[in-house]
């Protein structure tokens, strides 16, 4: 029986000639990741199991990004625990202070992931790295502890959904609109413990930034992972980042898929996920029928949409315009390098002159941590990946998920706005 791309990666990591959906395999890990929320729990479990050293200090990454810069004493203590552990274990990949960034933007940027890797992270959006041809998935802190100690993890081999992409995205339409559209079609459990395997000539037309965004939100459809083919664009990205040589696999012609979904990228329109689930999507014809949806805050950033390409799009919309009175607009570059590049390109000036706030890299508001908490009854348009009840603050607040273009346009008007309509308003 033929294997899908994900199944081939797991078979190779498990030292097996082939694997089948539902099979349990023990796979070698190429990287283990934790952050300032999840790593402390893993470190405590690591010590409880009697481990004295990590399997490979060069393959463990600890990124202080969720409550960093430390928002309170508890956050500072969490980071201190990680810092001390990294020093004790000789972990090179400890990122804090001026070296930190939002983890799922930072690791690809630093060349720490490559095609063919098997990666676990104690963060659900670890599936981001499938954009570069890796098998990457989120795990609990206990699995992270074992992964740090043994360099291995158990997996149940997933079935796969093949997503065939054709055409090209239109102006002001991005990978965020694509993944929101897909989640709206299949639901938040539509790919439960399955692999979303993207392919087709449309996949090659997507930028690496768009692919990273799409794979980042695979978990929001319940998927075990998302993955793209490795093409010249991905290879160039990996080479520029200084990543290890890619170990590419391709699916067998007779691979079996649970279902096939075909999407024409040219038919994708700006899309918004209304509260309180990412599947609750609306296009702007539907939004127009609801009447104006006024907002209090806009957040442009996160591991989903805090990359340079995202900031460039937001700046294109905001240039020469002003954030609406009464709206707080936060722009958060995902890494220090992105921050510096945005500064050198003049993007930060555009944001500040428009009346937006620019923050140091942090996950901050995405998880309701800090740097943008919502009060009762407030609404935010965010380029983040989740809009659950209370996700960004008070349980009576609301989060609307959108692309950087839509978020920026909404900041200008003070209501949820189609970026394609902004010129006519």
State the pLDDT at residue 425.
Answer: 57
Is there a contact between 233 and 205 (Cβ–Cβ < 8 Å)? no
Q: How many angstroms separate the CA atoms of 364 and 387, rounded?
A: 15
The alpha carbon dihedral of 292, 298, 303, 309 has a sign of positive
State the pLDDT at residue 424.
Answer: 66
Domain locations in the chain? 5-265, 270-424
Beta strand ranges found along 14-158 (DSSP E) = 24-28, 31-35, 60-63, 93-95, 118-121, 135-138, 152-156
Class of the CATH-defined domain 5-265: alpha beta
The CATH H-level (homologous superfamily) assignment of domain 270-424 is: Aconitase, domain 3 (3.30.499.10)
State the pLDDT at residue 68.
Answer: 86
Same topology for domains 5-265 and 270-424, yes or no?
yes
DSSP string computed for 148-168: HHHSEEEEEPPEEEEEEEES-
Is there a contact between 182 and 263 (Cβ–Cβ < 8 Å)? yes
Residue-level pLDDT, tens digit, the chain, 425 residues: 799 999 999 999 999 999 999 999 999 999 999 999 999 999 999 999 999 999 999 999 999 999 989 999 999 999 999 999 999 999 999 999 899 999 999 999 999 999 999 999 999 999 999 999 999 999 999 999 999 999 999 999 999 999 999 999 999 999 999 999 999 999 999 999 999 999 999 999 999 999 999 999 999 999 999 999 999 999 999 999 999 999 999 999 999 999 999 999 999 999 999 999 999 999 999 999 999 999 999 999 999 999 999 999 999 999 999 999 999 999 999 999 999 999 999 999 999 999 999 999 999 999 888 999 999 999 999 999 999 999 999 999 999 999 999 999 999 999 999 999 986 65
Q: Which residues contact 109 (CB under 8 A, 6 or more apart)?
A: 101, 241, 335, 337, 338
State in Å, rounded, how far the first CA of the chain is from the last one: 56
Q: Which residues contact 153 (CB under 8 A, 6 or more apart)?
A: 26, 27, 29, 120, 139, 143, 146, 147
β-bridge mates for residue 94, sequence order: 62
Nearest to 152 by CA among 120, 122, 129, 197: 120
Is there a contact between 241 and 212 (Cβ–Cβ < 8 Å)? no
Is there a contact between 217 and 249 (Cβ–Cβ < 8 Å)? no
Helix (H, G, I), strand (E, B) or coil at 131: helix
C-alpha torsion angle, residues 101, 103, 109, 111 (rounded to 10): 130
Beta strand ranges found along 180-229 (DSSP E) = 194-199, 225-227
Quickly count: other Cβ atoms within 10 Å of residue 2's Cβ: 12
Percent of the chain with pLDDT over 70: 99
In the numeric block, the tokens 């002003």 are attached to 322
CA distances from 104 to 124, 186, 213 (A): 11, 25, 10
State the pLDDT at residue 1.
Answer: 75
State the pLDDT at residue 65.
Answer: 93
State the pLDDT at residue 357.
Answer: 96
DSSP string computed for 283-311: EHHHHHHH---B-SEEEE-HHHH-SHHHH
State the pLDDT at residue 84.
Answer: 96
In what helix (H) or strand (E) does residue 355 lie, and over which residues does it extend? none
């Amino acid at each position: 029986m033929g294997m899908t791309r994900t199944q081939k990666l797991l078979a190779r990591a498990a030292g097996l000639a082939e694997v089948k959906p539902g099979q349990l395999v023990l796979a070698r890990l190429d990287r283990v990741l934790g952050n300032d929320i999840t790593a402390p729990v893993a470190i405590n479990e690591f010590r409880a199991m009697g481990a004295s050293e990590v399997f490979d200090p060069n393959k463990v990454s600890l990124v202080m990004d969720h409550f960093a810069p430390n928002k309170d004493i508890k956050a500072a203590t969490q980071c201190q625990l990680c810092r001390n552990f990294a020093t004790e274990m000789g972990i090179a990949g400890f990122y804090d202070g001026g070296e930190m960034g939002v983890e799922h933007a930072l690791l690809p940027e630093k060349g720490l992931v490559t095609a063919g890797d098997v990666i676990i992270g104690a963060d659900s959006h670890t599936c981001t790295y499938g954009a570069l041809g890796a098998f990457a998935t989120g795990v609990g802190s206990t699995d992270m502890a074992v992964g740090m100690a043994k360099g291995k993890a158990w997996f149940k081999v997933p079935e796969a959904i093949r997503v065939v992409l054709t055409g090209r995205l239109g102006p002001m339409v991005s990978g965020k609109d694509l993944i929101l559209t897909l989640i709206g079609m299949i639901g938040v459990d539509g790919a439960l413990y399955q692999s979303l395997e993207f392919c087709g000539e449309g996949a090659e037309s997507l930028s690496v930034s768009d692919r990273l965004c799409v794979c980042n939100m695979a978990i929001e459809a319940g998927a075990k992972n998302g993955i793209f083919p490795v093409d010249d664009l991905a290879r160039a990205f990996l080479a520029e980042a200084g990543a290890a040589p890619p170990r590419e696999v391709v699916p067998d012609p007779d691979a079996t898929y649970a279902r096939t979904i075909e999407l024409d990228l040219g038919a994708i329109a700006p899309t918004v996920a209304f509260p309180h689930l990412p599947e609750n999507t609306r296009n702007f014809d539907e939004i127009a029928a609801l009447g104006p949806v006024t907002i209090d805050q806009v957040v442009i950033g996160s591991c989903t949409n805090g990359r340079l390409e995202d900031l460039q799009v937001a700046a294109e919309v905001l240039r020469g315009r002003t954030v609406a009175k009464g709206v707080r607009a936060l722009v958060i570059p995902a890494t220090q390098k992105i921050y510096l590049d945005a500064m050198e390109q003049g993007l930060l000036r555009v944001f500040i002159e428009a009346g937006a706030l620019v923050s140091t890299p942090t996950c901050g508001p995405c998880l309701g941590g800090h740097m943008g908490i919502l009060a009762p009854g407030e609404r935010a348009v965010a380029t983040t990946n989740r809009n659950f009840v209370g996700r960004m603050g008070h349980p009576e607040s609301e989060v609307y998920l959108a692309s950087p273009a839509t978020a920026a346009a909404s900041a200008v008007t003070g209501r949820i706005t189609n970026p394609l309509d902004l010129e006519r308003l």
